[in-house]
Structure 1
C-alpha cells in the first residue's frame, strides 16, 4: 500500500546536524507512528513520504520553511528570574514549559541566566527552527487508519 492521506504509517528516522551527528530519531526504540495528511509531522517530511511503501529507505533534506520554520527573534524574551521560583534548579539549555501571554502552556529554552540582574533569557523558537534538516527514513508499515484513529488521533 502506498502512503496517502488517512494512512496510518510507522517510520524509523534519524535527524542529522551539519556535522553528521544524530540529534533526534527513533533508531533503537519504537517507530514513530502518524496519520498521513493530518499535519502530525513536519510538512517537508510528510511530502517526502507521500507514495512510499513499507520497506522504503531514503534520505531527505528539508528546508526550514518546510520544517520548523525560520527563527523569529521576537520569540526571545527576558523575564524576571522569580518566574522560575517553583523550579528546583534552572540552567542554560534547560527546556521547560511556562505559561505564555495567552495563558496557554509554552515550551521554551533557557538561553541565558543573569544572576546579578535577576533575569532569565528564554527562547520560544523550536530548537530546530531555522535549520536545514537532514533525515534518513525507513518506512516500517502502512495501512488504512481506523475510524477511531481518524476521529481521535493516535492518543485517543
Structure 2
C-alpha cells in the first residue's frame, strides 16, 4: 500500500462528535464519500491529517470552533417583525426559515416566537463548538487518470 499524497482520490467514512461524545454525523451506514485531496472538497485540516496515512487507517482530528463551524456570533441572532414576513405557516422553535437579506437567501434557525416577532439565529448549529472527527480511509485510488474528452 502507498501513503496518501496530495491529489490522491479517496473514499472516506467519517464520524463527528461533540466533546461529550454525542454523535453529530456518521457516514458509516451509507456509501463512503469520494474526495480528491487538493480540490478543497473537505476541510484543509482533514487533508493535512490524512497525508502520509494508508488505506484502512482511521485518523482522528479535533477542530476548535474557528476551524470547524466558526465562533458563535451574537450579532447573527436578531428579531424579525412578523408584519414584514410573508408567513405561509406558523414557525416553531427549532425550525429553519429561508430569508432574503440584501439580495441573498439565508437559512436561519428560529429560537423564539412571540406574537409580534420571531427571533432567528444565523449561526451554524454547531458554531462555537469544538468538534472531533474520526476519518476512515476506505480506499485510496491514488492519482486518478483524467478522463479524455
Short-chain TM bin: 0.7 to 0.9
Question: Is the alpha carbon distance of 1:130 and 1:145 closer, same or farther for their aligned partners in structure 2, counting shifts above 3 Å?
Answer: farther
Q: Which runs of 5+ in 1 are unaligned?
A: 149-156
Alpha-carbon RMSD: 2.2
Matched, 1:28 2:29: yes
1:145, 1:74 → 2: CA distance?
45
TM-score (norm 1): 0.78
More helix by share: 1
| 8 Å CA contact 2:15, 2:28 repeated in 1 | yes
Mapped to 2, the partners of 1:97 and 1:42 lie a distance apart of: 25
Q: Which runs of 5+ in 2 are unaligned?
A: none
Query: Which residue of 2 is the match for residue 151 of structure 1?
Result: none
Q: How many residues align?
A: 144
Within 1, Cα distance between the matches of 2:33 and 2:13?
6
Deviations for 1:71-129, whole angstroms, at most 9, x for unmatched residues? 1222222112352513x34221123433232x2222221111122x2x11111111121
* Structure with larger Rg: 2
Query: Is contact 2:61-2:132 (8 Å) kept?
Result: yes
Structure 2 distance, partners of 1:111, 1:146, is 49
User: Hey, what does 1:141 align to over in structure 2?
Assistant: 139
